[in-house]
Structure 1
Amino acid sequence: MGTHFAPGPLLRAAVLVAATAAAAILPGTTASAADPVKIGAVLSATGPAAFLGDPEARTLKLYVETLNKEGGLLGRPVELVLYDDGGDASKARTFATRLVEDDEVVAMVGGTTTGTTMAMIPVFEDSGIPFISLAGGIEIVDPVREFVFKTPHTDKTACQKIFQDMKARGIAKIALISGTDGFGKSMRGQCLAVMGDYGISAAADESYGPTDADMTPQLNKIKNTAGVQAVLNPGFGQGPAIVTRNYAQLGLQLPLYQSHGVASKSFIELAGPAAEGVRLPAPALLIAGKLGDADPQKAIVTKYKTAYEAATGQPVSTFGGYAFDGIELMADAIRRANSTEPAKIRDAIEQTSGHVGVTGIYTMTAGDHLGLGADSFRMLEIKGGDWVPAAP
């Protein structure tokens, strides 16, 4: 499917990006034809998850601005109604209610974290508004809910990709050190559930809180556990960077795996030289310039990366990529439905097939509201302060 994303300056306004309705009304047309298509977004653009939410917000605003320059959707301008929940689940739910009751959006793209997403789901399910989440937890789409979809790979899929790599390297006994936040808990549980499928077992299972500043005690326990061949850190935010730095300070030489939750340049910057050699699963976006010409994602990831970096002056991140895929999937569904009726948009999203995004190639069904498998992940390694495809 074609993309509708191109370079352009970011809007300064945080909420409204539609053309003025009055200016859009031409002689002989009706007001309804010029009414904007309202798409909602609730993101954690500030607060502890800002490194996720900020590139998501920038991406959505840039995309909608470009979309309006190209004529909008179904001949109507698009209005992005965006709220910042600061990472607070209760605020997210309040904003979700406002989007439905006051702003009257026809669709929703957002939900930076699993916690804020789960808080908003009942609002959109009850109101019958299609909701594409940008968060990682598998519980967002398992069990399947009628109006809820997501763009990032699930934590279960990330575990499977990591264990495929470990098995190929002859690793059979590992240690876990997981964040106790919603993402960390979910991924830890998924990894424990599937590791046996790859002949892998956990010899140690440690954890840390979201505000902990030193994970040395937990890592010392791991260091003193017999037989450990590698360490896996399910988590996101600053915690994994602290784990990585403490890991190097203790002189641990075992392979260290991180989650897709830290797949951004900011993780490398926070972890510093200690990040060298860390492996994690991530979308193709992080290695856009290293993809072969025959790679089906090369064109879209290169175009998005170029546009985003030109507009923002910041390096692209996978989190902004999740937002790009979310708004692109939503726009594509509206076009295919030829309607802004929420139920028809929902049906069109569920019928998405072979949609090439920056995160992967999406094919959704009534039983799969993500549409990505482990094959859409790339196993990456940090070398020389940058991402490279991991060697077998």
Structure 2
Amino acid sequence: MKKTAVTIITLWLTLTMSAVMAIAETIKVGAILAVTGGASFLGAPEARTLQMLTEEINAQGGINGKKIELILRDSAGSPERSVSFARQLIEEQRVFAIIGPSTSGETMRIKQIAEEGKTILLSLAAAEAIVNPLARYVFKTPQNDRFAAARIFMTMNELGIEKIAVVSGNDGFGQAGRGQLEQIAPDFGIKILANEVYDSRATDLSALVTRLMSNREVEAVVNWSIVPAQAIVARNMRQAGWDVPLFQSHGFGNIRYVEVAGAAAEGIIFPAGRLLIAEVLDDEHPQKEVLLKYKNDYESRYNEPASTFGGHAYDALMILARAIEEAGTDREKVRDAIENMQGFVGTGGIFNFSPTDHNGLDIDAFAMLTVKDGKFVKYEP
């Protein structure tokens, strides 16, 4: 009887230790994404990308023999939920790093939480305020909104546009973008004649469009948002017969916005990474191979067009994987490896991080695109 009891206890301890060792052999990566809700055009492709890449990496043996354990949380775009999930992932799940959130407002709410928890945060949101001022553990993969604003104004200069109206959502991304537009417009000789903020949950913006149209000096409109209102602005402008050029932010890089806007999307001009025009890049372009592989893998698996947002998730996980491969699983060494990573070819551009730059991309990461016959194409002034 005693031998049986000892055998059972020994077996239990063996199984327990094996389970603990198996857990220790995984790298826990948290992800806070807006899989549902108004920002799901961002979060859903990001989540699918992370799931696809995690399976691919694990099937190849993981990173230095350790498999990724992806712990995904759906924030539905809520800053409050993101705060709760960030604390849970850091304090209870003890994740190695967090990817996300999807939006700038959410990221700004958890930036300090990541710092206090000494946890690497690879944000998938665009606002420059995420990495400026610098935070030791916080990085981001989307291109900076300041460069997006500059590319828009450079295109306006080419077209001879000088007087514009700016409209933006009242979320974190909209506020940050509006600030960048206001700050650098004088550098490009652009005058902002009207500057309107709308509720990001709005379903009709015709009154706003009517107010803008009353100023006959307005030569173009810039809309800065990531919500479905991007399509609503376009529809309301066209319904009113207002045919001035409409520029969107780099948050327009999902073909679903075009599908929702329908014919009103034709001619919209916006800055974006080169993922959306990967097929037409020169064969010698350093990003082409990476872009086509991700695009083909994603589209063949999910039967939907790849978007720049899923690409941001691809960049985040691959940057993290490369840093772990180089530095092991010492978090501080991995943080240092990311901060000093040079020449990483991603979907958003070629990343060159530094102790003073936790985004690693410059204005050359952007191309100007437009909508033609319901598709994204390179913009030619």
The alignment's TM-score, normalised by the length of structure 1, stands at 0.91
- Secondary structure at 1:82's aligned position in 2? strand
Task: Name the amino acid aligned to 1:182.
Answer: G
- Secondary structure at 1:380's aligned position in 2? strand
In structure 2, the partner of 1:123 is 113
In structure 1, the partner of 2:167 is 177
1:297 corresponds, among 287, 311, 321, to 287
- Secondary structure at 1:334's aligned position in 2? helix
Work out the CA distance in 2 between the residues paired with 1:252 and 1:259. Answer: 20
- The answer as to 2:240 corresponding to 1:253 is no
- The answer as to 2:364 corresponding to 1:375 is yes
Work out the CA distance in 1 between the residues paired with 2:275 and 2:317. Answer: 17
- Secondary structure at 2:185's aligned position in 1? helix
Work out the CA distance in 2 between the residues paired with 1:34 and 1:365. Answer: 31
Q: Following TM superposition, by how much is the alpha carbon of 1:181 offset from its aligned partner in structure 2, in angstroms?
A: 1.5
CA contact (8 A) 1:173 1:200 kept: yes
Moved more, 286-295 or 360-369: 286-295
1:330 corresponds, among 309, 317, 320, to 320
What are the within-5 Å matches in structure 2 for residues 94-173 of structure 1?
94-173=84-163
- The answer as to 2:99 corresponding to 1:79 is no
Task: Name the amino acid aligned to 2:167.
Answer: I
Q: Following TM superposition, by how much is the alpha carbon of 1:153 offset from its aligned partner in structure 2, in angstroms?
A: 1.0
Work out the CA distance in 1 between the residues paired with 2:104 and 2:167. Answer: 19
In structure 2, the partner of 1:228 is 218
Q: Cα deviations across residues 224-273 of structure 1 (Å, max 9, x unaligned)?
A: 21321111111111111000000101111211101111211111001100
Query: Which one has a bigger Cα radius of gyration?
Result: 2
Work out the CA distance in 2 between the residues paired with 1:175 and 1:383. Answer: 23
Work out the CA distance in 2 between the residues paired with 1:47 and 1:171. Answer: 36
- Secondary structure at 2:157's aligned position in 1? helix
- Secondary structure at 1:47's aligned position in 2? coil
CA contact (8 A) 1:184 1:235 kept: yes
- Secondary structure at 1:379's aligned position in 2? strand
Sequence identity (%): 42
CA contact (8 A) 1:161 1:281 kept: yes
Work out the CA distance in 2 between the residues paired with 1:96 and 1:75. Answer: 27
Work out the CA distance in 2 between the residues paired with 1:295 and 1:53. Answer: 28
Moved more, 303-312 or 122-131: 122-131
Runs of 4+ in 1 over 4 A off after TM superposition: none
Work out the CA distance in 1 between the residues paired with 2:331 and 2:80. Answer: 25
User: Which structure has more helix as a fraction of its residues?
Assistant: 2
Q: Cα deviations across residues 103-156 of structure 1 (Å, max 9, x unaligned)?
A: 111111111111111122122101111110001111100101000000001211
In structure 1, the partner of 2:301 is 311
In structure 2, the partner of 1:389 is 378
What are the within-5 Å matches in structure 2 for residues 276-287 of structure 1?
276-287=266-277
Specify whether residues 388 and 170 from structure 1 end up closer, same or farther in structure 2 by C-alpha distance, changes over 3 A only.
same
Moved more, 269-278 or 173-182: 173-182
Work out the CA distance in 2 between the residues paired with 1:222 and 1:83. Answer: 40
- The answer as to 2:230 corresponding to 1:243 is no
Moved more, 81-90 or 296-305: 81-90
What are the within-5 Å matches in structure 2 for residues 23-62 of structure 1?
31=21, 35-62=25-52
Task: Name the amino acid aligned to 2:202.
Answer: D
- Secondary structure at 2:377's aligned position in 1? strand
Q: Following TM superposition, by how much is the alpha carbon of 1:207 offset from its aligned partner in structure 2, in angstroms?
A: 2.2
Query: Cα RMSD (Å) of the superposition?
Result: 1.7
- Secondary structure at 1:73's aligned position in 2? coil
The alignment's TM-score, normalised by the length of structure 2, stands at 0.93
Gapped regions of structure 2 (runs ≥ 5):
1-14
In structure 2, the partner of 1:10 is none
Task: Name the amino acid aligned to 1:149.
Answer: F
2:78 corresponds, among 80, 88, 95, to 88
Q: Following TM superposition, by how much is the alpha carbon of 1:31 offset from its aligned partner in structure 2, in angstroms?
A: 3.0
CA contact (8 A) 1:129 1:343 kept: no
In structure 1, the partner of 2:351 is 362
Specify whether residues 179 and 34 from structure 1 end up closer, same or farther in structure 2 by C-alpha distance, changes over 3 A only.
closer
In structure 2, the partner of 1:343 is 332
Task: Name the amino acid aligned to 2:154.
Answer: Q
Work out the CA distance in 2 between the residues paired with 1:373 and 1:31. Answer: 43
Q: Following TM superposition, by how much is the alpha carbon of 1:32 offset from its aligned partner in structure 2, in angstroms?
A: 6.9
Q: Following TM superposition, by how much is the alpha carbon of 1:33 offset from its aligned partner in structure 2, in angstroms?
A: 9.4
Work out the CA distance in 1 between the residues paired with 2:81 and 2:243. Answer: 43
Work out the CA distance in 2 between the residues paired with 1:213 and 1:75. Answer: 49
1:199 corresponds, among 179, 186, 189, to 189
1:352 corresponds, among 315, 325, 341, to 341
- Secondary structure at 2:148's aligned position in 1? helix
Task: Name the amino acid aligned to 1:354.
Answer: G
Q: How many residues align?
A: 366
- Secondary structure at 1:293's aligned position in 2? coil
Gapped regions of structure 1 (runs ≥ 5):
1-21
